[in-house]
Structure 1
Amino acid sequence: MAKPNYQLPSTNRSLPIALMRSREKVMAPIREMLKASGITEQQWRVLRILSEFGPQDLTEVAAKSSLLMPSLSRIIRKLGEDELITRATDSEDRRRQTVVIAPAGQQIIDDNLAQATRIAAEFQYRLGADRFELLLDLLAELEHEV
């Protein structure tokens, strides 16, 4: 049987490795920002989703925050213990739980809004507005096509 005529790209040109390196570069200032709040980047994502979209069921939160359900369950439990979110049973489907950002959770978003905006603006400045938007468009396309 003939060996396939394909070689792995150099790690310098590997899409998975490039995405991980870029993620780390983007997340480093976010992690630094969150230290003072005492929350993790995953908790921040959940709070951001709830702040932006309002009450969500856990399946929606998992999809929008790119978290697996077992991880999300632990995060939701911790956020609830810290009174950053509240949980409610759906009035139409008692098996379904909805989570809502609590005032203390919204306060964390509000307290970090200016710095988070500066971090995003810095990345946009470095890339240029058009390339920044193009990058987001290409990543969205990749997410929906693969």
Structure 2
Amino acid sequence: MPRSRDDFPLSATQRTLPIALLRAREAVMDRFRPMLRNIDVTEQQWRVLRVVQETEGIDATQLARAACVLAPSLTRILKSLESRGLIAQGRDENDRRRTLVRLTEEGNALLHEAGLVSARIYAEIETKLGAERIADLLDALERMTDDLTTQEDPRNGG
């Protein structure tokens, strides 16, 4: 006997948060993918390069978290970026057990050139959506992430 919609406890797919977030991500990334293809960099590699660019040196654990990349994928990505001369890995002078990732001159040059194109794409998105709407959306997503990832203290009954 076929089940009616009322018997099925899940929401319609098009009105679920995971699907809505994926659709929004795709709508944004569709604008950036041609730029990434032109510089022969994957989306994950781009995120890694951008995070490394923002630091003087970052260890793999912090980098994986900040770039939203799983550790096994990061190992492969770092090997690829290093073989292209875009990043360098070296020991942390303060803690010889840690390896830090830094951008090379070639990596900086690539990001500078691609950054000009990326900034134009972002400006187009901002023109379409408005700076305030983007800021509000980023704030709301940050709050949502914080709310969903904050660990409750079991000692307080949470």
Query: Is TM-score (shorter-chain normalized) higher than 0.5?
Result: yes
Measure the CA separation in 2 of the matches of 1:121 and 1:9.
35
Q: Using the alignment, how far apart are the partners of 1:113 and 1:125 within structure 2?
A: 18
Q: Which runs of 4+ in 1 moved over 4 A?
A: none
**2:123 paired residue among 121, 124, 127:** 121
42-51 or 119-128: bigger deviation: 119-128
- The aligned counterpart of 1:106 is 108
Pick from 36, 44, 47 the counterpart of residue 46 of structure 2.
Answer: 44
Structure 1: distance between partners of 2:10 and 2:129: 28
Structure 2 residue aligned with 1:29 = 31
Q: What is the Cα deviation at residue 130 of structure 1?
A: 1.5
Structure 1 stretches lacking a partner, 5+ long? none
Asked whether the equivalents of residues 47 and 106 of structure 1 are also in contact (C-alpha less than 8 Å), the reply is: no
Shift of 1:79: 0.6
* Alignment-derived partner of residue 130 in structure 1: 132
1:17 aligns with 19
Q: Is the 8 A contact 1:58 1:99 kept in 2?
A: yes
1:84·1:102 contact (CA, 8 Å) conserved in 2? Answer: yes
* Aligned residue in 2 for 1:61: 63
Question: 2 CA distance for matches of 1:125 and 1:54?
Answer: 33
Letter in 1 for 2:80: K
Who is 2:155 aligned against?
Answer: none
Q: Which residue identity does 1:102 align to in structure 2?
A: T
Aligned-partner Cα distance in 1 for 2:126–2:59: 32
Displacement of 1:8 in angstroms is 2.0
Root-mean-square deviation (CA, aligned residues, Å) is: 1.5
**Equivalenced residues, count:** 142
Matching residue's letter, 1:107:
A
State the match for 1:81 in structure 2.
Answer: 83
SS at match of 1:116: helix
User: 1:58-107: CA deviations, max 9, x gaps?
Assistant: 11111110001100111001111111000011123222110000111111
Q: Which has the larger radius of gyration?
A: 2
Q: Take 1:128 and 1:13, find their aligned partners in 2: how far apart are those partners?
A: 24
Deviation of 1:6 (Å):
8.3
TM-superposed CA distance for 1:48, in Å, is: 0.7
Which stretch of structure 1 is more off in the superposition, 21-30 or 120-129? 120-129
Q: Hey, what does 2:145 align to over in structure 1?
A: 143
TM-score, with structure 1 as normaliser: 0.91
Alpha-carbon distance between aligned partners in 1 of 2:9 and 2:117, rounded to the nearest angstrom = 43
Identity among equivalent pairs (%): 40
Task: Tell whether the 8 Å contact from 1:90 to 1:97 is kept in structure 2 after alignment.
Answer: yes
Give the unaligned 5+ runs of structure 2.
Answer: 1-6, 149-158
